[in-house]
Chain A
Amino acid sequence: MNRQRSAGLVPGLALADLKHEWILSICLFLAVAAVVGPLLLLFGLKNGTMETLRSRLLQDPRNREIRPMVSRSFTPQWLNALKDDPKVLFLVPTTRSISASVELKSNTDKLILEARPSAVGDPLLIENKAAPPGDGQCVLSAEAARKLGAGAGDEIELSVKRLKGSRFELGRTPLTVSGVLDPRATTRDVVYFSLGLLENIEGFKDGQAVPALGWKGAVPLAQPVFDGVVLGLDMPMDPVLKVRLTSGTGLSRLEELKKDQHLHRLGYQVNHKKYLYLITTTRALGREMLTTVNHRLRGKNALVLPWVAPVEIELDQDKKLFVLALPQAEGVNAPWDKDLAMGPAWRQIILPRDILLKPGSQLTCPGKSSLSLRVTPLDGMFSNSQYAQVPPELAGILNLSRRREIHWLPEKDRFILKRRGYAAFRLYAKTLDQVEPLKLELEAQGIPVHTEADRIRDLKELDTHLGLIFWLIALGGVLGGAGSLTASLYASVERKRRDLGVMALIGFGRGGLLCFPLFQALFLCLGGLGLAFVFYGGMAGLINQLFSSQLAAGERFCRLNLVHLVSAVSGVMLLGQTAAALAAWRVITIDPAEALRDE
């Protein structure tokens, strides 16, 4: 009971002693503050600077940007698959850089600048105070806007130039500046368009027409491609001819077709020639291949017909079957003319007996492009095999659709080639940490990419090194502070041996006496921390004020959060109590008799 009572009195006595020796106490407060204050400031600077750099890194989408370093044809399917990756925040394909140079003309000036595509959700634009442009709109970089003297809402003219033959052709369209980027986005002259407009610009530069913008030019018509040729000869093929036909023609594999194989391999019977051969290729070839073969068989009265490997089609979405080319030639009973012009004549079909179809039925080809067109079944005519038969031109188009995207324009009855792919892309990872994995994944696919990974790594290393330096300084400070505090408390106990002896003599228990230096350390540390926080607050405020012009809203060069402050308080208290424990150990050795003797 006495022990509890004496321990209960000790905090008051410890405080009374500190108040009594107030000059010495202030010196000790200052000693603690002199160690803790600069450490707080140092850590605040390290933390604030790193936090500012880190948040800038996080906020700036450029640091999460990934761009391929090589120009390649990235298919829409591949790009879509990449876009669906959970690590990817945003992806937009880009056109060839050679096609990305455009001229903009404002009321006052004109400027040649780099065009980049954008789309909804583009973080570069959103984070830099501009909404992604819609149709007929563009977003300018700050530098481009300055040079053009244009701002948001202004009308400007886009001018695209191409060289055709020996003369330049121009494509022009008016645009509205929908926004101007923050200068931090880029220092270059850049304009952001919708991807569609950039594709049109690329198409125009490639010589194509862009009807939507009134730009004249060619239409990228799809041309049939074939997998081989059927040769009909009067004589068996000699080895020399075989070599001539398989070298430099793109054809490689030759097989002789017996009469009974005609229907199975070709879908029709050739009656005119005695010897029939099928020469195939591993890659699709155009009409020029037929011309070459014809040329090499000149004077041999040969039959040269295009051949397409069976193409799977779907009719009216429920009838699946294979289709083959039925060419018009002597000895082949085809109901259409030779060399049909692109149009309705291409879209004829001869079906097997068991399939009935109305005119204008839908034919879809489940290839790369899911080509879909209307076909006309020929009345009263049926295929002699299980294959449907179409003119070789349509078979060639269906064959092509297995490899490339083709679009059928019903209004013009034309097969148009869709763009093969995109030269590059602009991708943003969701977080900084996902940049490196994405980079590795793309590089594993053979796509070298440019990222800010090095910069991120540098910052992380800087953080580590600064942390190390801080901890070394802190260690020195803490050791010095601990030494100073221990020495002060120890000296204080030594000076108070007589008083502590008197306290022991009049009945204070050992526990109570032990608490005396512990409580004094607690009060000294609290006072020292108070002074240190006042010092830190003042200095941090001054530093942040000095650098305010370089800081964005909410940014601080010197900053400590609650966790840091609580850690500092806990650390100093722990250190103080450890130091006081040494002094307390000294108290144990004080004999109450010392009070009597000292007297």
Chain B
Amino acid sequence: MISKKGDALHLGQLMHTRIQAGVRFQLIVPQMDLDSGQFAAVVGPSGCGKSTLLDILGLVLKPEKIGSFSIGGKKDPMDLTCLSQANQATVRSRDLGYVLQTGGLLPFLSVRQNIALPLRLNRQNDPIQVETMARILGIEGQLDKRPSFLSGGQRQRVAIARALVHKPRIVLADEPTAAVDELTAVEIRDQFRELSHKFGTTTIMVTHDRSLLRDQVDRVFGFKVVRKSQELTTSTLEELDRL
């Protein structure tokens, strides 16, 4: 399923200043290219700017400076540098999916309704699609429950199902396994990667847990410090270990 390089996401010449605990940090991303179906990881210590990068990729934070930002590659390119708020919402609902640390599920909806929400937003109310996704993730027995009745691992599976059900181009996952035990984390990661490959969805997972990534990700991005700036570069885990 892996297609031509850089046909899913392209980000170039990003620079964004942020202040954390009174200290200025500069986030610099010279280039970031991802293909459809790639399962990528952004790794770095706490406070290095992983989540800021995710905000920018998720169209919820406007960077100070950005050279280029597009999805869809050369075939179906969509420039994301200057979208209106309404269009940002449209892109978020159609082309992006999110998996948050504790799922980010709406507590007043059932599991089924939570999973169906992106479909309904995109006018694709297909219950079979919801049930299929639930079966793949092993949560078909939980569909009519409220999120509060689920375990942490089940919640994350529901979140993955919601993020992928409408087959977005990009899924952004912010520490999706941070709140579950190690075994469950591995299971979730595997299911997540499998589905990403299956649906051709590019996944960017932010994590600080390098053990989860070993031999399981297609690309790894790491932060290195260059004169008070956090610069994102393509790395191998070994390179990161040396940092």
B104 A17 Cβ-Cβ under 8 A: no
Residues of the A chain whose Cβ atoms lie less than 8 Å from the Cβ of B123? 5
Q: Say yes or no: A17-B85 contact (C-beta < 8 A), given A6-B93, A505-B92, A506-B121.
A: no
A2 B54 Cβ-Cβ under 8 A: no
Q: Which of A1-54 contact B (CB under 8 A)?
A: 1-3, 5-6, 9, 13, 16-17, 19-21
CA distance A504 to B223 in the complex (A): 29
A506 B100 Cβ-Cβ under 8 A: no
A506 B94 Cβ-Cβ under 8 A: no
CA distance A2 to B94 in the complex (A): 9
A508 B89 Cβ-Cβ under 8 A: yes
Contact of B60 among A21, A596, A599 (CB under 8 A): A596
Question: Is B140 interfacial (CB-CB < 8 Å)?
Answer: no
Question: Is B131 interfacial (CB-CB < 8 Å)?
Answer: no
Question: Is A593 interfacial (CB-CB < 8 Å)?
Answer: yes
B121 A507 Cβ-Cβ under 8 A: yes
A9 B120 Cβ-Cβ under 8 A: yes
Contact of A2 among B61, B105, B108, B121 (CB under 8 A): B121
CA distance A21 to B107 in the complex (A): 10
B92 A16 Cβ-Cβ under 8 A: no
Report B114-151 CB contacts with A as 1/0, cut-off 8 Å.
00011011110000000000000000000000100000
Contact of B100 among A1, A509, A595 (CB under 8 A): A595
Question: Is A592 interfacial (CB-CB < 8 Å)?
Answer: yes
Question: Chain B, interface size: which category?
Answer: 35 or more
CA distance A499 to B108 in the complex (A): 9
Question: Is A79 interfacial (CB-CB < 8 Å)?
Answer: no
Question: Is B101 interfacial (CB-CB < 8 Å)?
Answer: yes
Question: Is B55 interfacial (CB-CB < 8 Å)?
Answer: yes
A5 B89 Cβ-Cβ under 8 A: no
A593 B117 Cβ-Cβ under 8 A: no
- Nearest A residue to B123 via CB reads A5
Contact of A506 among B61, B118, B146, B175 (CB under 8 A): B118
Residues of the B chain whose Cβ atoms lie less than 8 Å from the Cβ of A17? 108
A599 B100 Cβ-Cβ under 8 A: yes
Tell me the smallest distance from the CB of B119 to a CB of chain A, in Å.
Answer: 11
Question: Is B2 interfacial (CB-CB < 8 Å)?
Answer: no
Q: Which of A481-531 contact B (CB under 8 A)?
A: 499, 502-510
B108 A13 Cβ-Cβ under 8 A: yes
B104 A5 Cβ-Cβ under 8 A: no
Residues of the A chain whose Cβ atoms lie less than 8 Å from the Cβ of B94? 2, 507
Question: Is B98 interfacial (CB-CB < 8 Å)?
Answer: yes
Question: Is B1 interfacial (CB-CB < 8 Å)?
Answer: no
B108 A593 Cβ-Cβ under 8 A: no
Residues of the A chain whose Cβ atoms lie less than 8 Å from the Cβ of B86? 2-3, 509-510
B104 A2 Cβ-Cβ under 8 A: no
Question: Is B174 interfacial (CB-CB < 8 Å)?
Answer: yes
Most chain B beta-carbon contacts within 10 A, residue among A502, A503, A591: A502
Report B148-192 CB contacts with A as 1/0, cut-off 8 Å.
000000000000001000000000001100000000000000000
B118 A593 Cβ-Cβ under 8 A: no
Q: Compute the total of residue contacts between A and B using a CB distance below 8 Å.
A: 93
- Nearest B residue to A595 via CB reads B104
Q: Say yes or no: A509-B89 contact (C-beta < 8 A), given A591-B60, A593-B61, A599-B104.
A: yes
B102 A505 Cβ-Cβ under 8 A: no
The main secondary structure of chain A at its interface with chain B is: helix
Q: Which of A176-233 contact B (CB under 8 A)?
A: none
Contact of A6 among B61, B101, B121 (CB under 8 A): B121
Contact of B98 among A5, A6, A506, A510 (CB under 8 A): A506
A596 B51 Cβ-Cβ under 8 A: yes
A20 B118 Cβ-Cβ under 8 A: no
B89 A596 Cβ-Cβ under 8 A: no
A505 B104 Cβ-Cβ under 8 A: yes
Question: Is B230 interfacial (CB-CB < 8 Å)?
Answer: no
A593 B104 Cβ-Cβ under 8 A: no
A19 B93 Cβ-Cβ under 8 A: no
Q: Say yes or no: A13-B85 contact (C-beta < 8 A), given A1-B90, A506-B93, A596-B58.
A: no
Q: Say yes or no: A596-B100 contact (C-beta < 8 A), given A16-B109, A16-B113.
A: yes
B60 A508 Cβ-Cβ under 8 A: no
CA distance A503 to B100 in the complex (A): 13
Residues of the B chain whose Cβ atoms lie less than 8 Å from the Cβ of A507? 89-90, 92-94, 96, 118, 121
CA distance A592 to B100 in the complex (A): 12
Tell me the smallest distance from the CB of B194 to a CB of chain A, in Å.
Answer: 22
Residues of the B chain whose Cβ atoms lie less than 8 Å from the Cβ of A20? 107-108, 146
Residues of the A chain whose Cβ atoms lie less than 8 Å from the Cβ of B121? 2, 5-6, 9, 506-508
Tell me the smallest distance from the CB of A496 to a CB of chain B, in Å.
Answer: 9
CA distance A20 to B114 in the complex (A): 14
Residues of the B chain whose Cβ atoms lie less than 8 Å from the Cβ of A591? 60
CA distance A503 to B93 in the complex (A): 10
Q: Which of A356-384 contact B (CB under 8 A)?
A: none
CA distance A300 to B162 in the complex (A): 141
For the complex of A and B, 4 pairs with smallest distance between CB atoms: A507-B93, A20-B108, A599-B101, A599-B100
Listed by A's residue number, 12 A-B pairs whose Cβ atoms lie within 8 Å are A6-B93, A16-B109, A499-B107, A502-B104, A505-B58, A506-B92, A507-B93, A592-B60, A595-B100, A596-B51, A596-B174, A597-B51
Using a CB–CB cutoff of 8 Å, the interface residues on chain A facing chain B are 1-3, 5-6, 9, 13, 16-17, 19-21, 499, 502-510, 591-593, 595-597, 599
Give 4 new A-B contacts, CB below 8 A, not counting A9-B117, A599-B174. Answer: A6-B93, A507-B94, A592-B60, A595-B100
